[in-house]
Amino acid sequence: MIEIMHKQRIKQILVFVSDALLVSASLFISYSLRFGTLMLSEEQLRQILFTLPLALIIRLFLFYNRGLYRGMWRFVSVRDLIVLLQSATFGSLFIVGLLFLFQRLNEYPRSVFIIDWFIVIVLVGGSRFTYRLYREGWFKVNIANSSDPASKKILIVGAGRAGEMILREILGNYRLGYAPVGFVDDNRAKRNLTIHGYKVLGNTRDIPNIVEEHKVEEVFLAIPVAPSKAKRRIMMTCKNAHVKFKTLPAVGDILDGTVKVSALREFQIEDLLGRESAKLDTGAIKSYLREKTVMITGAGGSIGSELCRQVAKYSPKQLILFERSEFNLYQIHMTLMELFPDLELHPVIGDVLNQQRVEKTLKQFMPEVIFHAAAYKHVPLMEINPDEALINNVLGTWTVAHLAVTHGVRKFVMVSTDKAVRPTNIMGASKRIAELICQGLGESSKTKFVTVRFGNVLNSIGSVIPRFKEQIAKGGPVTVTHPEIYRYFMTIPEAVQLIMQAGAMGQGGEIFILDMGEPVKIVDLARDMISLSGLEPDKDIKIVFTGLRPGEKLYEELLTQGEEIKSTLHEKIKVAAAEQINWPILLGNIEALLDELQKGFKDRTVNKIKLIVPDYQPEKGGPGTVIHSIRDMEYEIIPDIAN
């Protein structure tokens, strides 16, 4: 590290000396151009020697003050040129002003200062842009590797800003081993136009012909905002043309705003599901997270760990990671220490059912915001173990929520699920009771309780996509429960972003519902994943329908009976007007349910659940059903709300 800093210091000194020489040369060149000779008179040399110290001090100070010595020359841009123009202009005005104060201005030809202003910009700016052109290989004979037979010929889809940035990086780094042949773009106005000398050869439907004519080996999709239908069509076009294809991630995932070749990746199922990046009110999120102590239960789960990563970006005072899985806690703790070395982290091993552990944690750290993401979530397993599902999800929520009120937590954000709506399974019923607990406690406390309800998230632990990937890797078959089963999907980062946004919007008592977009037919999802693997559905990989399991619906819902949905200021977040509840009676019923569970799960337990959740309708073969075959549990499409 010290050696690197030493080298950087030497480079800065060399640049400083170089600029000093260029500023000096500019003054001499200005006089020579003004008088048309290199042989200047004694009077002219005297004027130069008097002005030169002023020019050096003023111009070099302005260059340093405006940051020209902090930038890297290989990335010099138009913005740097604007800074140079401003610095040169202010410098010339200062020099003229000082000469006026010294009453020497009348001795100088006025045009010299205009010429000097122009020459300084040309010499100082030119030196930087010349270096950038050199680093980008513009002075090499083999521009863009077009003559190198070892370079891969690539076609860029999208003649926009992202495509231009990809091309520029390829031209500037011959070590990448790519040779562009041109662009394709569906915008007719761009047809036959050129970018850095490379032509827009046609539209995306011309890809097969262009691939064959130019021997293209890879296609780069450089349109981060392309809709899913367009991506699917381009994917199939490339597949039929027998050419590899890569794509850029969504704009929201390109964190620094810079598009690079290294960001290109293989197509993923997320690219075909039509989810656009959420637009966040970062100011509102920052206002309730920055410099606050935040606690996250279930911190090692899919949603919990992503909550940790994204909350950490808003500079909380402390982040409390509450998790009962030692391995999961270790993983997220190590990740956060690497990503946010200055953040105060407190990994706490604990179970939400352990009242003493929860209370000790709250007393010790006094969190101001709690995100409650800990719960059992797997529908088939919870149907087999209904008593544990209810105890963990109901009693666990009661423990954390009740103690949050006792210890003055300002905001409590409860992560829920669409399976809580008209539940047909124990997991959904338990989450609906957890929602009611938050609503009831919020009515009589200063703690603001906010519930966020959403559907399935992609690639969560135990969900359908990892299971499909595993089945495809084994050669199939891919198992789907029903040919007409649909589910809503969003990515884990998007779900977490919207959870934080809803938390910022909530004033207490709301049930926020995330816009899940269009439902996806699971069998179509399976076929897309098989195609992305380079295989043919129903030919290379069979799809087998295994039948709906106990508690499973064909469609999931987001509203319960009596709830009305209203819009919010955020286009992807709705709010449900919660039904009125009698909290004392409800609390008594919940306590009776938990007491009943101490005796085990029985038929009368279902009746007690229905007293709390009247629209709970367990299907035939509900809780307590014995699953006779491991194939009955091959996958479940679920929101990840827990470990």
Quickly list DSSP for 596-629. HHTT---HHHHHHHHHH-TT--PPTT-TTPPP--
Higher pLDDT, 392 or 179: 392
Tell me which of 267, 296, 313 is where a domain ends.
267
* Mean pLDDT confidence for 352-374: 95
Tell me which of 80, 108, 135 is where a domain ends.
135
Task: Identify the band that residue 357 occupies on the pLDDT scale cut at 50, 70 and 90.
Answer: very high
Under 8 Å between Cβ of 296 and 307: yes
* Span of 128-142, 485-499, 543-557 with lowest mean pLDDT: 128-142
Question: Is 148 found in the same domain as 131?
Answer: no
Q: Which two tokens stand for residue 220?
A: 């780069």
Q: Is 501 a residue whose pLDDT tops 50?
A: yes
Question: Is 148 found in the same domain as 129?
Answer: no
Is 590 within a domain? yes
The Cα–Cα gap between 254 and 611 comes to 49
What pLDDT was estimated at residue 506? Answer: 82
Q: Is 412 a residue whose pLDDT tops 90?
A: yes
Task: Identify the band that residue 626 occupies on the pLDDT scale cut at 50, 70 and 90.
Answer: very low
Higher pLDDT, 16 or 362: 362
CA angle 579, 582, 588 (to 5 degrees): 130
DSSP one-letter code for 395: I
- Angstrom CA distances, 294 to 322, 337, 361, stand at 11, 16, 12
Task: Identify the band that residue 642 occupies on the pLDDT scale cut at 50, 70 and 90.
Answer: very low
Which positions are annotated as active-site residues? 419
Q: Which two tokens stand for residue 352?
A: 């939400």
Question: Is 393 found in the same domain as 348?
Answer: yes
What pLDDT was estimated at residue 466? Answer: 73
Q: Report pLDDT digits (tens) over 176-204.
A: 778 888 888 888 888 878 887 788 888 88
Under 8 Å between Cβ of 592 and 390: no
- Residue 258 CB partners (closer than 8 Å, separation 6+): 165
Give the residue carrying structure tokens 């007409």.
484
Question: In 3D, which of 579, 450, 442, 567 has the Cα closest to residue 502?
Answer: 450
Q: Is 274 a residue whose pLDDT tops 50?
A: yes
Is 423 within a domain? yes
Is 74 within a domain? yes
The Cα–Cα gap between 524 and 504 comes to 36
Residue 573 main-chain phi, psi, to 5 deg: -130, 125
Question: Is 304 found in the same domain as 215?
Answer: no
Question: Is 197 found in the same domain as 124?
Answer: no
Task: Identify the band that residue 354 occupies on the pLDDT scale cut at 50, 70 and 90.
Answer: very high
* Mean pLDDT confidence for 211-238: 81
Question: Is 203 found in the same domain as 68?
Answer: no
What pLDDT was estimated at residue 637? Answer: 31
CA atoms within 13 A on the CB side of 385: 11
Is 276 within a domain? no
What pLDDT was estimated at residue 281? Answer: 74
Number of structural domains found in the chain: 3
Residue 202 main-chain phi, psi, to 5 deg: 165, -160
Question: In 3D, which of 589, 561, 588 has the Cα closest to residue 576?
Answer: 561
Question: Is 206 found in the same domain as 320?
Answer: no
Question: Is 592 found in the same domain as 548?
Answer: yes
Give the residue carrying structure tokens 């909530």.
506
* Mean pLDDT confidence for 87-105: 83
Give the residue carrying structure tokens 């089963």.
485
Under 8 Å between Cβ of 51 and 92: no
Task: Identify the band that residue 252 occupies on the pLDDT scale cut at 50, 70 and 90.
Answer: very low
The Cα–Cα gap between 57 and 63 comes to 10
Straight-line distance from the first to the last Cα atom of the chain, in angstroms, rounded to the nearest whole number: 39
Question: Percentage of the chain surpassing pLDDT 90?
Answer: 22
Total number of residues shown for the chain: 643
What pLDDT was estimated at residue 255? Answer: 42
Give the residue carrying structure tokens 């930038």.
71
Q: Is 404 a residue whose pLDDT tops 90?
A: yes
- Angstrom CA distances, 188 to 158, 352, 588, stand at 12, 59, 68
H and E: helices and strands count for the chain: 21, 22
Question: Is 158 found in the same domain as 108?
Answer: no
* Mean pLDDT confidence for 311-340: 94
Is 24 within a domain? yes
Higher pLDDT, 141 or 527: 527
Domain housing 601? 282-633
Q: Which two tokens stand for residue 316?
A: 């909380």
* Mean pLDDT confidence for 88-99: 85
Higher pLDDT, 100 or 139: 100
Q: Report pLDDT digits (tens) over 554-603.
A: 655 555 455 566 666 676 777 776 678 889 999 999 999 988 888 878 77
Q: Is 548 a residue whose pLDDT tops 60?
A: yes
- Angstrom CA distances, 246 to 140, 149, 265, stand at 28, 22, 5
Indicate the pairing of strand 265-266 with strand 244-247: antiparallel
* Average pLDDT in the chain: 79
Question: Is 262 found in the same domain as 291?
Answer: no
CA atoms within 13 A on the CB side of 503: 29
Q: Is 97 a residue whose pLDDT tops 80?
A: yes
Q: Report pLDDT digits (tens) over 8-50.
A: 667 777 777 888 888 888 888 888 888 877 788 888 888 888 8
Residue 245 forms beta bridges with which residues? 219
DSSP 3-state of 381: helix
Burial of 341 (0-12, 13-18, 19+ CB in 10 A): exposed
Tell me which of 244, 267, 290 is where a domain ends.
267
* Mean pLDDT confidence for 621-625: 49
Higher pLDDT, 325 or 478: 325
Residue 69 main-chain phi, psi, to 5 deg: -100, 0
Does the CA dihedral 324-328-332-337 come out positive or negative?
A: positive
Is 640 within a domain? no
Question: Is 178 found in the same domain as 103?
Answer: no
What pLDDT was estimated at residue 458? Answer: 56
What pLDDT was estimated at residue 107? Answer: 79
Check which CATH number belongs to the domain holding 537 and give it: 3.40.50.720
Question: Percentage of the chain surpassing pLDDT 70?
Answer: 77
Does the CA dihedral 62-65-70-71 come out positive or negative?
A: negative
Is 277 within a domain? no
The Cα–Cα gap between 85 and 121 comes to 7
Residue burial 576-595, b: 16+ Cβ < 10 Å; e: rest: bebeeeebeebbebbeebbe
What pLDDT was estimated at residue 620? Answer: 57
Q: Is 260 a residue whose pLDDT tops 90?
A: no
Q: Is 61 a residue whose pLDDT tops 90?
A: no
What pLDDT was estimated at residue 635? Answer: 31
Q: Is 232 a residue whose pLDDT tops 80?
A: no
Does the CA dihedral 461-466-471-475 come out positive or negative?
A: negative
Q: Is 334 a residue whose pLDDT tops 80?
A: yes
Q: Is 636 a residue whose pLDDT tops 50?
A: no
The Cα–Cα gap between 588 and 584 comes to 6
Please state the pTM of the whole predicted model: 0.61
- The torsion of the CA quartet 401, 405, 411, 417, rounded to 10 degrees, works out to 20
Is 272 within a domain? no
DSSP element (H, E) containing 595: helix 583-597
DSSP one-letter code for 224: T
Under 8 Å between Cβ of 413 and 387: no
What pLDDT was estimated at residue 546? Answer: 78
Task: Identify the band that residue 264 occupies on the pLDDT scale cut at 50, 70 and 90.
Answer: low
Question: Is 372 found in the same domain as 257?
Answer: no
Give the residue carrying structure tokens 């827009």.
200
What pLDDT was estimated at residue 633? Answer: 34
